[in-house]
Amino acid sequence: MWKTRLQSYNIHMIETLFKTKTPEKGKSECYVLVLTSRPASGRKVFHFMAEHGHWDIRSKRFVREVSSINTEDETTYEDALVMYNTTRQKLAELGFIHTFVPDCSCKGPHAYRLFEPEVVSA
């Protein structure tokens, strides 16, 4: 499904965040953050998307819903990166600190990282 949706894009960043270090496929709540680019009128435009995955009790299946998306044609890489990092920070504050980043060479497993948001004091 991802490949179909993102075929015309160049993925710069993709990351899956969980509340647990040992997620269960198709059961553990997660967010997938994607920062991509695509050519447009001789230049690149950047897009940010966040997808929320969770178990739906009613339908008894895992559901994925796009919870945030930016497809404006004027978004710079810097603006899209701010959206990506802001969303990542907010999710970390909700406990989504276990991140998995795919090996883009497709030769290895996903790399696990613990995301530790900076503590901001007033």
Instruction: Identify the domain containing residue 80 by its residue range.
Output: 2-114
Q: Is residue 108 in some structural domain?
A: yes
Number of domains in the chain: 1
Q: Cα torsion for 82, 50, 87, 67, to the nearest 10°?
A: 120
Q: Is residue 119 in some structural domain?
A: no
pLDDT of residue 120: 38
Query: Would the CA dihedral through 5, 52, 12, 69 be positive or negative?
Result: positive
Q: Is residue 100 in some structural domain?
A: yes
Q: Is residue 63 in some structural domain?
A: yes
10-residue mean pLDDT profile of the chain (122 residues): values are: 43 85 88 86 84 91 87 83 92 90 55 53 38
Q: Give CA 59 to chain center in angstroms.
A: 24
Name the pairing type of β-strands 10-18 and 111-114: unpaired
Q: Is residue 34 in some structural domain?
A: yes
pLDDT of residue 5: 43
Phi, psi of 18 (to 5 degrees): -130, 165
Question: Taking the model in full, what pTM does it have?
Answer: 0.73
Q: CA angle at residue 121 from 116 to 122, to 5 degrees?
A: 150
Q: Is residue 85 in some structural domain?
A: yes
Q: Is residue 120 in some structural domain?
A: no
